[in-house]
Amino acid sequence: MTTVNPTRWTATKGSKLLITLGLVLTTVLTAAGCSNSKASEGKDTIVLATKGFAESDILANALKLLVENDTKLKTEIKKLDNTLLWNAIGSGDVDAYVEYSGTALINILKLEPEFDPDKAFKIVVTQLKEKNKLIALDPLGFNNTYVFAVRRETAEKYGLKTASQLAEKSGELVFGASEEFLNRADAWPYVESIYKPKFKETKSIQDSSLRYQAIKQKLIDVMLPYSTDSQILANDLVALEDDKHVFIPYDAFPVVREQTLDEHPELKETLNKLAGKLDETAMQKLNAEVEQDQKPAIDVAREWLKSQGLIK
């Protein structure tokens, strides 16, 4: 399993926190259910794409299976990193893939971050169509951004459901994060300025796997994983609501070339069947099947689609 770092912190105007989930992949990867062949020039083939990590693989295969189930179209999947993918969909070598609102807003459209999820998505829908001739379909239902997470017993002991409640009880808790996160002015200092936690202790732990070990061993009580990380589920952690919206929203949604929808209008109804079907917990479970159980992404996608009654 290839490990990727899906986060880059960048300073923004007005001292707002920018968390850019831009995936750093140095090679074009290969995996089950996907190919790196050139896009078919046939009108009957829809070229889909994945960014090469478990979640993206699962969602690309979900699109593939749904299209093949509901239409007479053929599909193929390419694995590309962000830059190659954006170039490919712009040139017509890729027809559709699943993107994230924060990535579209900041990396593709080069706009200022918007912290309100609904406003962010509305901007993305309008601007992708106007500037890139891309159609943003309905969101899938989950937001893959940072979340504060604690052990379930900690959440129950202190009655924690939100980050604000965590801040109120922080004097009794130990926080763990990477050195870079703790020291960059636009990262932890910004979060700290909004929530104003006063943790009993803050520990610098560079590797995310070591942070999970530390919280499991009760060396720390609080960490900041991504909301759909399968390790949240594996370690029985509770993700707390970011009630003051310090983290950029990264709502997942299918994006399709306008020309592709003009040629195959049935795709809109087909792909929108996924709208609102996945929350963060459901995505954690699917990611776990690939990352921890080592199941092929296409098999995980197929079983999930069947469970939702979307394919036979």
CA 174 to CA 257: how far, in whole Å? 47
CA 140 to CA 128: how far, in whole Å? 18
138 and 154 together in one domain: no
In a domain, 312, yes or no: no
**Confidence class of residue 191 from pLDDT cuts 50, 70 and 90?**
very high
Range of the domain at 191: 148-240
Read off the pTM: 0.85
Calculate the alpha carbon distances from 226 to 45, 77, 194, 246, 263 in Å: 34, 25, 19, 14, 37
Let me know: does 46 contact 75? Beta carbons within 8 Å: yes
Q: What is the pLDDT of residue 170?
A: 98
**Confidence class of residue 181 from pLDDT cuts 50, 70 and 90?**
confident
**Confidence class of residue 180 from pLDDT cuts 50, 70 and 90?**
confident
pLDDT at position 16 over 70? no
Instruction: Please give the average per-residue pLDDT across 285-300, as a whole number.
Output: 98
Domain boundary among 222, 240, 258: 240
156 and 235 together in one domain: yes
CA 197 to CA 158: how far, in whole Å? 15
Dump pLDDT digits (tens) for 18-67. Answer: 444 443 333 333 333 444 334 444 579 999 999 999 999 999 999 999 99
Q: What is the CATH number of the domain that holds 97?
A: 3.40.190.10
Residues in the chain: 312
**Confidence class of residue 119 from pLDDT cuts 50, 70 and 90?**
very high
106 and 83 together in one domain: yes
Instruction: Please give the average per-residue pLDDT across 247-275, as a whole number.
Output: 97
Domain boundary among 187, 222, 240: 240
Dump pLDDT digits (tens) for 77-102. Answer: 999 999 999 999 999 999 999 999 99
Highest mean pLDDT among 4-18, 26-40, 100-114: 100-114
211 and 97 together in one domain: no
Question: Two tokens at 1?
Answer: 């399993």
Instruction: Please give the average per-residue pLDDT across 278-291, as a whole number.
Output: 97
153 and 135 together in one domain: no
In a domain, 287, yes or no: yes
The chain-wide mean pLDDT, for the chain, equals: 88
Q: What is the pLDDT of residue 32?
A: 38
**Confidence class of residue 186 from pLDDT cuts 50, 70 and 90?**
low
Q: CA nearest 221: which of 233, 206, 234, 235?
A: 235
pLDDT at position 169 over 50? yes
Domain boundary among 240, 268, 283: 240
Dump pLDDT digits (tens) for 140-167. Answer: 999 999 999 999 999 999 999 999 999 9
208 and 299 together in one domain: no
98 and 164 together in one domain: no
Q: What is the pLDDT of residue 3?
A: 38
79 and 97 together in one domain: yes
In a domain, 3, yes or no: no
Higher pLDDT, 247 or 172: 172
Q: What is the pLDDT of residue 184?
A: 77
pLDDT at position 125 over 70? yes
Instruction: Please give the average per-residue pLDDT across 234-249, as a whole number.
Output: 95
Q: What is the pLDDT of residue 10?
A: 40
Instruction: Please give the average per-residue pLDDT across 288-312, as a whole number.
Output: 97
In a domain, 171, yes or no: yes
In this structure, which amino acid lies at residue 108?
I
**Residues forming a β-bridge with 79:** 50
Instruction: Give the chain's domain count.
Output: 2
**Percent of the chain scored above 70 by pLDDT?**
86
Instruction: Please give the average per-residue pLDDT across 218-245, as a whole number.
Output: 96
75 and 212 together in one domain: no
**Residues forming a β-bridge with 254:** 98
